[in-house]
Structure 1
Amino acid sequence: MRLWKILPVVVLYGLLPARSARAQLIETAYPSDVPGFDTGQGVSVTSRIQTDTAWHEIPLGAELLHPEVTESIGHDSAILAGRQPSWIVETAPSVTLNAKDTGYSVTAEASADDIRYLDGPGISDTDWTAAVGGTFDLADCAVTAAVAHLALHENDTALDAAQYDEPLSYAVNTLRLSAQTPASRLTIQPSFDLSQYEFGSATIGGVAASQAYRDRVVAEAGLTVSYGIKEYDDPNRALLSIEPDAGHYPNQTLGEPARDYAGGTVMLGVEHDLDGVWGWRIQAGAGGRVYRSSYENQFVPLMDAAVTWQPNERTTWHAALFRQIESAADEGEGDYVATIGGVAMDRELRRDLILHLGADLDRADFTGASETFITGRVGLQWLISPVLRARATLTLTDHQSSTATPFGEDVFMLSMTAGL
């Protein structure tokens, strides 16, 4: 493929525009700084930015306010409406409010992402999100509660997306609850997630196509048990995760089978807390879904693995691979299996200059069909001051499909972020 002729493959993780060419799983859309949605990836070169270049925050009594705005200009070689190239202007403001005291912490965040395609103004759109989450102590347990509303758009460069004439609007409302027992050799973490999805109408090949049949309510319960293999403070811990789930589709198309399902996952593995050099988590197991109607029931092997390696104080390597069941967009397909993997490196060239390189593989397996995206990125972030940052990113993606014509998409962006 052309991609391998251009690279070594490269990535700038977390600094890319929201509509960059990668798998648009909903997990990537939640605000990563809000408790209940944060990813907890641990220490890295980018998470321990030096004090003299760290973001400032505005004190409001005991609270801290952090507004910022990112302005970007770039070029996409394959936007919607015929895969034509277009220049892009993107504006992404956000504001975060943090409140902490003994026994609790709360974070609220609101953000927007407005993207204008200069050569395709009819497909320009604006996403926005709002979320609030907090942690507090209850009977010696750490309890987390979070809610979020996301107003987003799906384009045809996402996994399992149709060839839309313009981005498809959809909204997600989510409630998350979890608790964790006090630190000991044995810890238990129950959780509960409830999500509602609402989809708008799309136009495909000039024909209006309602996507309301994709509306759904999904409930997920969970129980994670962690056990120190040798003793209480052993960095090596055994893991057991059990997550039953169920989905209800209230707006099925007349004549189509109901898509309601019940299922879940069971994963067993081990993790090693980051010790300054290594940190890793490996879980493997199986998941399945059983449908009310004639869709083919799912039962597949699953995994969740992540590794962090810090060979020195200026370099961090990350690698991850996970496999999970996702709800399919096509009415004739119940669900599909998503396999997402990647490797990336953060390198502090100077204390104010960070290079990030890496590659991603995103694959969707349907009944008798598949899609595969191979993405490489390179980016450079300049920490100019505590109130100003600049970055440049280049993303190269090959889109391969067993049912559609393959195509490539190249995105280059220059961005400036100002914040207080």
Structure 2
Amino acid sequence: MRRIAEGAVRPDWRQQIASQGIVFSETPTPDGGTMSYWREGPFYDFSSREIDTLTASAATLFEMCVAAGDFVIDHNMFQLLGIPEFARDQIKRTWWDDETEPGGRSKGDYSPSIYGRFDIRYAGEFSGLPQLLEFNADTPTSLPEAAVAQWYWMQQTGQGKDQWNGIHEALVAAWQRNLGRLRQARTHLLNPMTVHFACDRSEESGEDLFNTEYMMETARQALEPQGYRVKFLWMDEIGAGDVQAGDRFYDPEGQHIDVLFKLYPWEWMLQEQFAKQCFRDMSDPRRDSTVWIEPPYKMLWSNKGLLAVLWHLFGDDPEKKDLLLPAYFESERPEWMTSYVRKPLLGREGANVSIIVDGVTKTSTPGDYGGPFVCQSFAPLPAYTDPRGGEWHPVLGVWMIDGEPAGLGIRESAGLITDNLSHFVPHTIDHSGF
């Protein structure tokens, strides 16, 4: 793995990425200026062996996360993760999926999951195994730039021999498989069925909207040939009647929402006035309630408490511990851990993160997220020096589609905390044939 600083630059690259939907490419900076989110010219190059390592490591990490979810449920750790009581039964039901109890009775509901993203620390095959920084399991973004924009970049610039990028095809297949299974599990669903897509209207950059529209496009390609429909609405347009009186969730045209993909975090939904109603609807014994994608069980994984649970389970495992960094809930941080990263359980975009080295806070980011916190052992991100004198620190985003590793997107930052001022940088495989 290496950073190539002086790659080809397309003369019309701004128009190219805009035509591919990256309309949020200019990021406001604290000094009142802007910076380009997409970085044209530099790119990261990997050997095929390194991509094999990333693929195998991500698959193992996913299995470990499944074990961690089982552990949280079996040991009733919801309070430690800050999950309110009214949400817990549906987290269990969606986690258990369509497993059966002795006698054949269903333990849960089939609730589709389409995607997630592991954020990984890695510097190549001579630096040790990839290590998990966190799991963006509920509302990961930077999807269109990873699935589409960097693929066109490689085709148009001729950089590299290949790219780890089966994301788009995997998404189409995931919609087909998961919605097919859903129709079998919930026979009351209309045929043809409408799948709704929603995000937050107040997000001003356009990033959430485009990520949602891209997911809707992959679903359209997958489902329209089978007679399904896709339909967009804003989160604040969802109508919520009185569930206890038999009302359900519907769109502005009065259509019942059977299936809803939402780019809107579950922890935000838990604070909404319709939150309890949402979970009462899901618990309807007729099972004709709204199906939410991603499902409620993703609250077990999108919570930074997952890092502490994983270390508790696998910190002594000789084959798996090297994929992790030691992590503890702040209240349980051992005395020996004096260099660590302090992260809020439910923080986003690097907000309210602090790096402590030998007991001294070296850097921290502002934000609106409070505690509780998790402390993860500090392992600096790899540093790549730019010929212009800068130093860049990449985080590898490994996309998990339908539970399988499908591709890679990279964000790099000038500091050790990857925040909303990071850049997206494309990648190749075997640029120089090494």
* TM-score interval for Structure 1 and Structure 2 normalised by the shorter chain: under 0.3
Specify which structure has the higher proportion of helix.
2
**TM-score normalised by structure 1 residue count:** 0.27
**Which structure carries more relative contact order (alpha carbon 8 Å, separation 6+)?**
2
Specify which structure has the higher proportion of strand.
1
**TM-score normalised by structure 2 residue count:** 0.26
